[in-house]
Copies of this chain bind each other. A is one copy, B any other.
């Protein structure tokens, strides 16, 4: 029997981050791009005051601890205020992905039993489409001032966020409750079946937000200015809305304008030093600065996750623009960042290309998380950098079971991620594929991600996808789908010749298809299921 420790029993709550930020970094600034284009500036102290007003407003709407409040919103200061007011009050903040199909949104709003929906004006048409099917929602609140407040066809009343706030006093005592209480709810947009909800706890979020400030993770502090491009409707924007306030970093919220020109201009004018988002965003930004012959004056580092960032792009950001890329991995079920590429002290004396090769992997787990890879029988595979199997994860901010289910989602206490990965002796993890995307050719595995990364290394390729297609002889063979850069005349032979030097011969795609665009889903990832549906039959008649 251990002896009981004799420390205070204080819960880890999201409201604690808010009061800490306001008290210790009160004059630090949040810069927010309003949905209508204007930049709004307010300090952490002001923000905390407005959050307390919002907490009073939610109470005035008749909401109680445990109730669920939905948001359909961009990264902006009102969305941030909602993050703190809702969870701080003991309610659940349900962040909705506006890129989901309206039918899916209707499902999740009803499944979550949302009482109030906060939405940006952009999404008024979407709200018009879903509101009639969400009878339990008692208030729809437009995240704007009176001037910009929209009416929604079919909705009798739309409340104005700023009016709700202004009607309330700015004193509010944050309740104390169990740190394992639900704080934020986010649904995964699974490819089959209905979306599944993940209910994050206060404890998990506070622990992730703290850990992600560490120098080898996001490295957030009072000397930094961070711009999260990763959306606040998608796994908590990697907890940056929390970690910025906890660490005292300046926070820039870009609103709806996520094109290369808008991001570059905001990064320059607000002297942003750190950013984070999915690779697609960085590819767009890179193309823009390339075309315009621009530089980054203050941007020093960006963290990338959601899908793989090709090594060639990592190298270009570093060599041509002086921007360090850190490559991460996480999923809806892991609250935020679970691993991040992180060069060891020894790695830093390697030649640049070898360093980029390490960064192109998904990196090491951050403190609080453990990973392993297992074979089909659940047996742990060696950490040798080559043995690949399903990635399993466990730790402080990993799901135990989905919302409104009773069955654990775990296998022997570990969450099976559906990713195929390797782990090397230094703990560096490398995602090789999704279990459902890996190509099984003649009893061996071909990594669709490795092939895609190799193809994107060609200067004429804008984007690429590889899918496994049924094959009469080899079971499956890879098909490469390419979107060319504008005015580039790349053809099949040239790209195959390019790939021949980069992958083993039996990995070479049997066919190459050129498209104008790849189908992209709600979270910005290529919809391979759609590609498989369209091209699944191309090899059935041949025996190449």
- Chain copies in the assembly? 2
Q: A215-B219, A222-B345 are in contact. Are A182 and B6 (CB under 8 A)?
A: yes
Q: Select the stretch in A8-16, A156-164, A314-322 that faces chain B.
A: A8-16
From B198, B247, B370, B395, give the contact of A6 (CB < 8 A).
Answer: B198
Q: Does A189 contact B (CB under 8 A)?
A: no
- What are the residues of chain B within 8 A of A402 when measuring CB–CB? 6
**0/1 string, A239-280, CB within 8 A of B gives 1:** 000000011101000000000000000000000000000000
Contact of A250 among B16, B24, B204, B345 (CB under 8 A): B345
| Assembled-state Cα–Cα distance A92/B224 (Å) | 40
- Kindly report which residue of chain B lies nearest to residue A224, judged by CB atoms: B215
Interfacial residues of chain A within 409-465, with CB under 8 A of chain B in the complex:
410, 413, 415, 425-427
Q: Which of A31-39, A49-57, A206-214 contacts B (4 or more CB under 8 A)?
A: A206-214
Complex Cα distance A17/B367, Å? 7
- Within the complex, the shortest CB–CB distance from A178 to chain B, in Å, comes to 7
Residue A48, interface by CB 8 Å = no
B216 x A248 contact (CB < 8 A): yes
For the complex, give the distance between the alpha carbons of A79 and B222 in Å.
35
How many Å lie between the Cα of A252 and that of B9 in the bound state?
Answer: 34
Question: A183 near B: Cβ within 8 Å?
Answer: yes
A1-25 interface with B by 8 A CB criterion: 1-10, 12, 16-17, 19-20, 23-25
Q: Is A344 an interface residue (CB 8 A)?
A: yes
How many angstroms between the C-alpha atoms of A12 and B207 in the bound complex? Answer: 10
Give Cα A402 to B207, complex, Å: 27
Residues of B contacting A413 in the complex (Cβ-Cβ under 8 angstroms): 8
Cα–Cα distance between A273 and B194 once the two chains are bound (Å): 53
Q: Which of A12, A178, A203, A214 has the most CB of B within 10 A?
A: A214
List, in ascending order, chain B residues with CB within 8 A of A24's CB: 364-365, 367, 426-427
Which residues of B are found within 8 Å of A247, using beta-carbon distances? Answer: 214-216, 367
A532 at the interface (CB under 8 A from B): no
The verdict on A181 contacting chain B, using a C-beta distance below 8 Å, is yes
Measured between alpha carbons, how far is A334 from B14 in the docked complex, in Å?
A: 22
Residue of chain B at shortest CB distance from A343:
B222
Main secondary structure of the interface of A (DSSP, over half): loop
- A17 surroundings in chain B (CB, below 8 A): 367
B367 near A7 with CB under 8 A, answer no
Contact in complex: A178, B210 (CB < 8 Å): no
Question: B5 to A182, Cβ gap below 8 A?
Answer: yes
Q: How far is the CA of A464 from the CA of B211 in the complex (A)?
A: 41
Complex: A402 Cα to B403 Cα, angstroms: 42
Contact of A90 (CB < 8 Å), options: B2, B23, B219, B223 = B2
Contacts of A415 in B (CB 8 A): 8
**How many Å from the CB of A45 to the closest CB on chain B?**
9
Q: Does A238 contact B (CB under 8 A)?
A: no
Tell whether, in the assembled complex, residue B7 and residue A398 are in contact, meaning their CB atoms are under 8 Å apart. yes
User: How far apart are the CA atoms of A220 and B250 in the complex, in Å?
Assistant: 21
* Alpha-carbon gap, A399 to B7, bound state (A): 4
Query: Which residues of the partner chain B approach A401 to less than 8 Å between Cβ atoms?
Result: 6
A7 to chain B, nearest CB (A): 4
Asked whether, in the complex, the Cβ of A427 is within 8 Å of the Cβ of B345, the reply is no
Cβ of A28 < 8 Å from any Cβ of B?
yes
Known: A2-B66, A216-B221. A180 touches B7 (CB 8 A): yes
Give the distance in Å from the alpha carbon of A2 to the alpha carbon of B204 in the complex. Answer: 15
Within 8 A of B (CB), among A334-366: 335, 342-346, 348, 364-365
Whether the Cβ atoms of B199 and A5 lie closer than 8 Å is: yes
Q: Which residues of B contact A177 (CB under 8 A)?
A: 2
Identify the 6 closest CB pairs spanning chains A and B, nearest first.
A5-B201, A215-B221, A2-B181, A3-B182, A216-B221, A5-B182
Given contacts A6-B198, A6-B400, 6 further A-B contacts (CB under 8 A): A10-B395, A19-B370, A24-B365, A24-B427, A216-B223, A248-B345
